[in-house]
Amino acid sequence: MKYLIWLVVLLAVVVWFQRAKKSMLAGSDAGDGAAADVPKPKASRFRRSADGNAETMVQCAHCGIHFPVSEAVVHASGAHYCSEEHRHLASF
């Protein structure tokens, strides 16, 4: 019975080490110094509005790009545009 407890503890330590090794490898694949200050893409995958909720994405009616609704330029017709320039171009 005493050995069973030690076996469980040893197993837990081995699993913990393997997870630590895996996360260390994932963290260091970005490179050696050169790209260390580049932000990870997954960090900015979801933009958060001021109240902490995920922001609604809209599509530019001119170029089709998706962007947060807070940055949208809204036409009188209700269409969303990514910039004032695209709203202007689309009105012709």
Give the residues lining the site for Zn ion (CB under 5 A).
60, 62-63, 82, 86
Nearer to Zn ion, 79 or 82 (CB): 82
Nearer to Zn ion, 29 or 84 (CB): 84
Q: How far is the CB of 61 from Zn ion (least distance, A)?
A: 8
| Under 8 Å between Cβ of 60 and 86 | yes
Bridge partners (DSSP) listed for residue 80:
74
| Under 8 Å between Cβ of 86 and 63 | yes
Looking at this protein, which amino acid is placed at residue 84? E
Q: How far is the CB of 69 from Zn ion (least distance, A)?
A: 14
Nearer to Zn ion, 55 or 90 (CB): 90
Q: How far is the CB of 37 from Zn ion (least distance, A)?
A: 30
- What is the C-alpha separation between 49 and 38, in angstroms, rounded? 23
Q: What are phi and psi of 86, to 5 degrees?
A: -70, -35
